Structure 1
Amino acid sequence: MSRVQRIAILGAESTGKSWLANALAGVMQARGHSVHTVDEVLRHWCEREGRTPLAHEQIDIAQTQAQAVIRIAQGVVIADTTPLMTAVYSHLLFADESLYPMALAHQALFDQTLVTGLDLPWVADGLQRDGPQVRDPVDTLVRQALERAGIAYRVVYGKGHQRLNNALLALGLAGEDETARMTRYNAQFAINEGRTVWQCNECSDPECEHKLFTGLLAKRLD
């Protein structure tokens, strides 16, 4: 690629952002792209500190998240969350809206923004997640912020491979058929020699996932 292409994945907690980021990276790498994934800074922060951040610590997390994206100057960058999520949680938890200008200015640097829908079940994840009751307000605040700033986004629904295919189509890319999926899956399994650590709370695998929030799906389809 002649320039960097940035893709952001936003969404409330336990909506498969990390799984989707990694799945998209796998498909795009298999198609010959140079892909860089940017992990969620907050997750590593919580693991390191053994707690969730206080109000005054949010800005450093947001800036670190932004810098991790900006320092990559070529290929495809897939960001598993952006400073906008930090701004939303600061707004929701601390009534602090001061991070929005910085977060939205950074969000405008992305070529495409995906928002993960609420059709997956909430799963606890230690310090990282507050509870299912925050998902609706977070989803609302994310969409309101993007719309307020005039930033286009697409909402991705679906389960497992369907969710991945919907994301590919939302990005203007061809979907992945079953043969291509199994080829990629087997190649990745071979690389890891079966040692991959599966994270059930993020994988959205149709074989093992809990029942979907079908009511939410029906109500929130765009």
Structure 2
Amino acid sequence: MSSHVIALVGAESTGKTTLAREVVRVLSGRGVDAVMVPEALRDFCVQHDRTPLQHEQAAIATEQTLRIHQAAQGHSVVLADTTALMTAIYSDFIFEDRSLYDIALRDHAQADLTLLTSLDLAWTADGLQRDGPHVREPVDQLIRQALQHHQLPYNVVAGRGVARVQHALSAIEHLMDAPQRQLRAASSPRWRWYCDHCDDGECEQHGLGDGRA
């Protein structure tokens, strides 16, 4: 993937979709070619008027990864409203099926930045998409455990409204500025200290040995 892919993960009703839309809106306003990848699970629920069965989870995870990959081919910044990892998490939580983790984590690792939305927003109903506020903490723990166990770094995004968007943007801006930081570091002179006795190879040990500075 040649673009910056930002993966948004988090328990239900933690503002992932709203955050993705707002970040894309702000970046687009700055002239950045940014796009949001919608959640395949949401489209499935709308199309079938139900939540998926256990054997349908793998296809949803594959579709989510495909959408992200396609978006990355044509845009500079991709905001993914969840990844296949979330499908694996819910397969584990709801069906006790852990079979999707390996592929989901492999696909998730392709993202350049992972943003985990905090539980500091109030839970709200959203039709078939929501199971209830009681599932948020265990799902949040499963996400953290999966990322930490596979050494996939992540940033927790917290706050409300503009503060939440700015929190996410600060992490994304840091990612996007990485090439420039490397150039600045390469071109900046480094400060060096030279010993007054630099022609004496034993001066450091000698100074330590006889108590002289």
Q: Which residue of 2 aligns with 1:141?
A: 142
Point out 4+ residue stretches in structure 1 off by more than 4 angstroms.
Answer: none
Alignment of 1:115-194 (within 5 A): 115-173=116-174
Letter of the aligned partner of 2:123 in structure 1? W
Aligned mates of 1:56, 1:84 — CA distance in 2 = 16
Deviations, residues 8-37 of structure 1 (Å, cap 9, x unaligned): 100000000000000110111111111121
Q: Which residue of 2 aligns with 1:11?
A: 10
1:100 aligns with 2:98: no
Alpha-carbon distance, 1:42 to partner: 0.4
Alpha-carbon distance, 1:168 to partner: 1.1
Structure 1: runs of 5+ lacking an equivalent = 175-222
1:88 aligns with 2:95: no
Alpha-carbon distance, 1:172 to partner: 3.6
Aligned mates of 2:57, 2:101 — CA distance in 1 = 12
Aligned mates of 1:109, 1:122 — CA distance in 2 = 30
Aligned mates of 1:143, 1:134 — CA distance in 2 = 14
Aligned mates of 2:100, 2:150 — CA distance in 1 = 14
**SS state of the match for residue 138, structure 2?**
helix
| Deviates further, 67-76 or 121-130 | 67-76
Q: Which residue of 2 aligns with 1:211?
A: none
Alpha-carbon distance, 1:171 to partner: 2.3
Aligned mates of 1:17, 1:96 — CA distance in 2 = 24
1:66 aligns with 2:65: yes
**SS state of the match for residue 105, structure 2?**
helix
For normalisation by structure 1, the TM-score amounts to 0.76
| Deviates further, 22-31 or 10-19 | 22-31
Identity of aligned residues (%): 49
Aligned mates of 1:166, 1:50 — CA distance in 2 = 35
Letter of the aligned partner of 2:25 in structure 1? G
Aligned mates of 2:45, 2:133 — CA distance in 1 = 19
Q: Which residue of 2 aligns with 1:219?
A: none
Alpha-carbon distance, 1:83 to partner: 0.5
Deviations, residues 115-150 of structure 1 (Å, cap 9, x unaligned): 000000000111110000000000000011011111
Structure 2: runs of 5+ lacking an equivalent = 176-213
Alpha-carbon distance, 1:169 to partner: 1.5
Letter of the aligned partner of 2:2 in structure 1? R
Deviations, residues 148-207 of structure 1 (Å, cap 9, x unaligned): 111110001000001001111122459xxxxxxxxxxxxxxxxxxxxxxxxxxxxxxxxx
Q: Which residue of 2 aligns with 1:76?
A: 77
Aligned mates of 2:168, 2:69 — CA distance in 1 = 23
For normalisation by structure 2, the TM-score amounts to 0.79
Q: Give the CA RMSD over aligned residues.
A: 1.4
**SS state of the match for residue 7, structure 2?**
strand
